[in-house]
Amino acid sequence: MENSVSVCSDFDACQARVLHAHELLCAEYGAPFRFFSTKDALSELISALLSHRTRNQDSHRAYQQLRAAFPTWEAVRDAPTPAVEQAISACTWPEQKAPRLQAVLREISTRCGGPCDLSFLADMSVAEARTWLESISGVGPKTSAATLLFSSLRIPAMPVDSHHHRVAQRLGLISAKTGPEAAHAKLEALLPPDWDAQQVYDHHEAFMFHGQKCCYFHTPACGRCVLLAQCPFGQARLGRQPPAAAPSSAPTA
């Protein structure tokens, strides 16, 4: 049914819709949310790479085992690859992720001329920092945004996970054919440019929670959804009239 959702084509209307959804979802799930991570940026990058296609509890265990096995990220970089693979065996595809982690660490070391904690990214704009990270092979928009936002840098880059992506599609903010990279660019552009890291984090978390707790992939609970009045997907699914445009005066925080 996502393919039949009418996508919002006017920027102002799209922004009004996303900000109104932000307000409703933040109220529904209890924002502001406490940041779950205090890792430095390089550690957060490694954690994000381990989390690909892996349950949170398993990627967390893999990260903890990796830290226990090696005293520094330089030690991970220079270790025999099978030893790294063994340390991260709790995550999916450790045989692929171990050499990828080491390649990322080698590339960062080369660029920095030695050990590097990525703290210098704080001196860049969001776009510059994301470009720097995404120029590393294997680092995509979700990983770069997670590194910047979730780490101790607290840079307001917005990650879009599968739940966030699904909710945005059903709201008509992006089309069903919009891939991850394009989705990050479009959805981040809809947010006010003066939002700080807490506001961007609240937005990401609220949309993610909604995908986890209501807007399920299968059989979404449209009947109890706080966004139903403005959701083309939910309206069509329940056989109701198309939603009215979101209020143009929707709050921006």
Cα distance between residue 152 and residue 171, in whole Å: 32
176: nearest Cα among 233, 131, 215, 136: 233
Q: Give dist(CA 253, CA 249) in Å, integer.
A: 12
pLDDT value at residue 210:
98
Give residue 159's pLDDT: 96
Block mean pLDDT (10 aa), the chain, length 253: 74 96 98 95 97 90 97 96 97 96 96 90 96 95 97 97 96 91 92 97 98 97 97 92 52 43
pTM score of the predicted model: 0.89
Contact 109, 74 (CB under 8 A): yes
CB 190 within 8 A of CB 37: no
What is the DSSP code (8-state) at residue 214? T
105 contacts 76 by C-beta, under 8 angstroms: yes
Which residues have C-beta within 8 Å of that of residue 222, sequence separation ≥ 6?
228, 231, 233, 234, 237, 238
CB distance 196 to 32 below 8 Å: no
Which pLDDT value is given to residue 30?
97
Query: How many of the other CB atoms lie within 10 Å of CB of 177?
Result: 10
Give the model's pLDDT for residue 115. 81
pLDDT for res 251: 45
DSSP codes joined into one string, 138-175? T--HHHHHHHHHHSTT---PPP--HHHHHHHHHTTSS-
Count each helix (H run) and each strand (E run) in the chain, helices first.
12, 0
